[in-house]
């Protein structure tokens, strides 16, 4: 066998080994975002659009539809909303213009302590003894998820790093 043939053969093996060593399996399925979400909620301003919700946001949705929907939505599971009975009119939960500027801390406080404690309407009752702090956090997470215009978290610059 000539050296040349031997060399070609050897390089072939090396190349084969190298290629198989570099095999990548990163081709994970590009899933439907709703399939990768725990739950979803229609965009209140466009019911054809579904917004994906994570676990915490989904728990917030559940708490919202039990406790908050009566005054903070236009339609309720039992029919008409109670909003029109109230002055000042409570904001819709997806009202980004009104709620995006409020900090998570403020939201946590007004739900926990009620409107009068935070200098707002006494018609907003305190829920700190009814809901757990975790449940209240989840409602805020849900609020942020459905906000229109969309909510941008303050502060922390997004990391430019990507895994691969």
Partner 1 sequence: MPAEEMGKVTDRMRFGLAVSSLLFVAVLAISPFKDYRREWKQYKRAYLRFAQTRPDTKRLTADYSPDIDQIWIPGMNVVDRCTTCHQGITQASLADNSAPQPFRAHPPIPHNVREWGCTICHRGQGPATEVAEAHESTLAWEQPALPTHFMQASCGTCHQSDLSETPQLVKGRQLLAALYCVGCHKLQGLERPAMLGPDLSSIGTKVSREWIYKWLKEPRTMVDKDGNVTVNGYETEEEPRMPKFRLSEDELKALSGYLSVQKAKSLAAYNISPAVVRSWSKNPELISQGELRFRQMFCSTCHSLAVTRAGETKLIGGNIGPELTKVGSKVNPDWLIAWLRDPEAYLPHTRMPRYGWSDEDLYKVTQYITTKLVDSDLLTSVPKLDPPTDQEVQLGRRLFTEKGCASCHAIEGISPQKDFGPGLSALGAKNASELEFGTAKIPHNLLSYIQAKLQDPVSVNPAARMPQYNWEPGDLDAVTTALLSMKGAPPTSALQNLVVPRKEASFQPTGSFAEVYERYKCYACHKFNGYGGDLAPDLTYEGSRAQRRWLVEFLKSPQTLRPTLILRMPQFNMSDKDATTLADYLSMVLEHPEVNPATIDTRQFTPAMATLGKQLYEVKYQCQSCHTIGGTGGYVGPNLSNAGGWLTPAWIEAWLENPQALVADTIEPHRNFTDEEIKALTAYLMTLKTGINAQKTAGISRGRPLAPGAGR
Q: Which stretch binds partner 1 (CB under 8 A): 41-49, 70-78, 97-105, 143-151?
A: 70-78
Please tell me the count of residues contacting partner 1 according to CB under 8 A.
62
Q: How far apart are CA 93 and CA 98, in angstroms?
A: 9
Residue 109 engages partner 1 in binding (rule: CB under 8 A):
no
Among 30, 47, 48, 153, binds partner 1 (CB under 8 A): 153
Q: Which stretch binds partner 1 (CB under 8 A): 32-40, 41-49, 98-106, 142-150?
A: 32-40
Q: Which stretch binds partner 1 (CB under 8 A): 41-49, 91-99, 101-109, 124-132?
A: 124-132
Ordered alpha helix ranges (H), 65-163: 69-72, 96-99, 104-113, 133-146
Among 42, 45, 74, 134, binds partner 1 (CB under 8 A): 134
Q: How far apart are CA 70 and CA 68, in angstroms?
A: 6
Residue 155 engages partner 1 in binding (rule: CB under 8 A):
no
Virtual CA dihedral for 38, 141, 145, 66, nearest 10 degrees?
Answer: 70
**Which residue carries 């676990």 as its tokens?**
55
3-state secondary structure 27-91: CCCCCCCCCCCCEEEEECCEEEEEEEECHHHHHHHHHHHHHHHHHHCCEECCEECCHHHCCCCCC
Residue 104 engages partner 1 in binding (rule: CB under 8 A):
no
**Which residue carries 């399996």 as its tokens?**
25
Residue 47 engages partner 1 in binding (rule: CB under 8 A):
no
- Pick 66 or 97: Cβ nearer partner 1: 66
Q: Which stretch binds partner 1 (CB under 8 A): 2-10, 41-49, 94-102, 142-150?
A: 2-10
Residue 130 engages partner 1 in binding (rule: CB under 8 A):
yes
Residue 103 engages partner 1 in binding (rule: CB under 8 A):
no
Residue 39 engages partner 1 in binding (rule: CB under 8 A):
yes
């Amino acid at each position: 066998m000539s050296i040349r043939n031997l060399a070609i053969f050897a390089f072939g093996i090396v190349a084969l080994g190298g290629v198989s060593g570099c095999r990548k399996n990163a081709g994970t399925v590009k899933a439907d975002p709703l399939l990768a979400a725990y739950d979803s909620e229609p965009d209140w301003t466009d019911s054809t659009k579904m917004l994906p919700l994570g676990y915490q946001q989904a728990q917030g949705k559940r708490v919202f539809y039990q406790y908050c929907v009566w005054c903070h939505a236009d339609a309720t599971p039992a029919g008409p909303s109670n909003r029109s009975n109230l002055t000042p009119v409570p904001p819709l939960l997806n009202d980004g213009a009104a709620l995006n500027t409020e900090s998570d801390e403020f939201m946590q406080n007004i739900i926990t302590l009620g409107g009068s404690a935070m200098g707002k309407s006494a018609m907003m009752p305190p829920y700190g003894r009814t809901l757990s702090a975790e449940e209240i956090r989840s409602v805020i997470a849900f609020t942020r998820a459905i906000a229109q215009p969309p909510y941008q978290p303050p502060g922390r610059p997004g990391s430019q790093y990507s895994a691969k």
